Amino acid sequence: MKYLFFSWLAVFVGSWIIYVQYSAYTELCRGSDCKNMICEKYKQGVIDGPACSSLCDETLYFGKCLSTKSINQVYVGKWAEVQGVIKCQMEEAAHFDFGTETELRKQTVPFEKPTKGTSVEKFKEMVYSLVKAKLGEHVNLPDLVNLVLSAADGNKDGHVSLAEAKSVWALLQLNEFLLMMILQDKEHTPKLIGFCGDLYVVEKVEYTALFGVSIPWFIEVFIPTGLRRSVDQWFTPSWPRKAKISIGLLEFVEDIFHGPFGNFLMCEISSKNLGYNDKHDLKMVDMRKIVPEVNFKQQMVAHPCVSDLDCVYEADCRTSCDQFKKQCTTEVIQPNLAKVCGLLKDYLLRGAPSDLREELEKQLYSCIALKSTVNQMEMEHSLILNNLKTLLWKQISHTKDS
C-alpha cells in the first residue's frame, strides 16, 4: 500500500512538472502573435521588406519553436523551398534617435522613425549617426551605410521607400542584425535571407550546438545537470571534426577582434550559441549577445559600484570596480579568446591524440589565462590564437575532414 502511494505520488509530481513545462513552452512559442503583429503593420503600409508578402500569405512557414525567452521568438522556418530560421521581437528593443552626436533619446513608438517626408539623404545621415554611436568613428563607416541602404531596398527597385526604411531602422537597433551587415561575407556568419519590420529570416544551421544530443523537454526536466553534461560529452563529432569546428570558432574570434569597425565582445559564451553545418564548418547560431566594445564602454562608464559584482554587463562581460572612485571601469576583464578557450578546453581535450594532448592542454591554459588589461595584450592574443590554429590544423590538414 505504501509502495502504491509513492508510485501515484511520483506520477502526480511528474505530471505536474510536465504541465508547468508545457504551460511555459506555450507562453514562449507564440508564432501567430508575432506574425499577426508584423502583418498588421505591413497591411497598414507602415513597414515593408522582402519577407512581408510571404509572411502574410503564409508561404513563409513557421515550424518548430526554438525560443528560450518570450520576448525573442525564434522558429525553424521554410520560405518557398529554402530552410531558414525566423527571429521576431515580441517586445520593442531599445530604439535610439541620434539627433546630435552626443544626444540619445529613447524611441518609445515602434516603427516611428524615420518620419514621413524624410529624404533618402536624411535617412542616410540617420544611419551614419546610429552606427557611429554604436561602433565609434571609423574611416569606412560610409561603406557600411551603403551596405545598409542596399539591404533596405528589399524589392531591388533602385530606391528605399519609407516603409522599407522603417523596417531597417528597427533592425539596426539589434546587435545581431548590425553584426550580420558587417560580417555578411564571412563564412561563419549565417546569411540574412529576408526581413519584414524587425522580423528577420536567416540561413538555417543544421547542427545547433557544439555537442550534445537533442532530448524532448518533458524528459530533459528529469535529467540531473551533471548527468546531462556527461551525456553531452559522449555525443560529439569525431576528434578531427571537433578540431575543424574549433578552428572555425577561433577564426570567428579573429573576425570580430579589432576589425574594420572595431572590436566586438562576446558576452555570452555558450555551446548553444554555436553550431556547424554538414561539412563541420562553424556557424554562429545566436549573436544577440555580441556587442560593440564602444557601445559596451558607453554603458559601463561611470556605473556606480561597491564591488566587482556590480560591474557585470552579461554573464561573460565583466569589468572591475574602481574602489577609489566607486565606479566600474570600462575594460572587460577577459578577452573573447580566453572565454572561447574555456569553452573549448574539455571539448578538445576529450579524445585528443595522445601525442598532441600535452601541448594542446598547455596552449589552452595559456589562452584561458589571457587578460584584457595586461600590456601588449593584442600581440599575446594574436600569438596564442595563431599557435592554437596551427597546432590543430597540423593534426587534420592531411585528413578528409580538412
Which string of b and e fits 188-205 if b means at least 16 CB within 10 Å? Answer: bbbebbbbbbbbbbbebb
| pLDDT for 25 beyond 60 | no
Nearest Cα to 255, choosing from 308, 188, 331? 188
Q: How confident is the model at residue 200 (pLDDT cuts 50, 70, 90)?
A: very high
- 308-338: per-residue pLDDT in tens? 999 999 989 999 999 999 999 999 999 999 9
Nearest Cα to 242, choosing from 135, 151, 352? 352
- 345-356: per-residue pLDDT in tens? 999 999 999 999
- 93-143: per-residue pLDDT in tens? 444 443 333 333 344 467 999 999 999 999 999 999 999 999 999 999 999
C-alpha cell, 260: 574594420
Answer CATH for 238-396 from 3.40.50, 1.20.272, 1.25.40, 1.10.510: 1.10.510
C-alpha cell, 299: 554603458
Strands (E), 138-216: 192-196, 199-203
Q: How confident is the model at residue 367 (pLDDT cuts 50, 70, 90)?
A: very high
| Average pLDDT of every residue of the chain | 84
C-alpha cell, 158: 533602385
List, as one string, the DSSP characters of 265-300: EE----GGGEEE-TT--EEES--TTEEEHHHHHHHH
Mean pLDDT, residues 44-66? 93
- How far apart, in whole angstroms, are the C-alpha atoms of residue 307 and residue 327? 9
State the CB neighbour count (10 A cutoff) for residue 143.
12
Domains of the chain by residue range? 30-204, 238-396
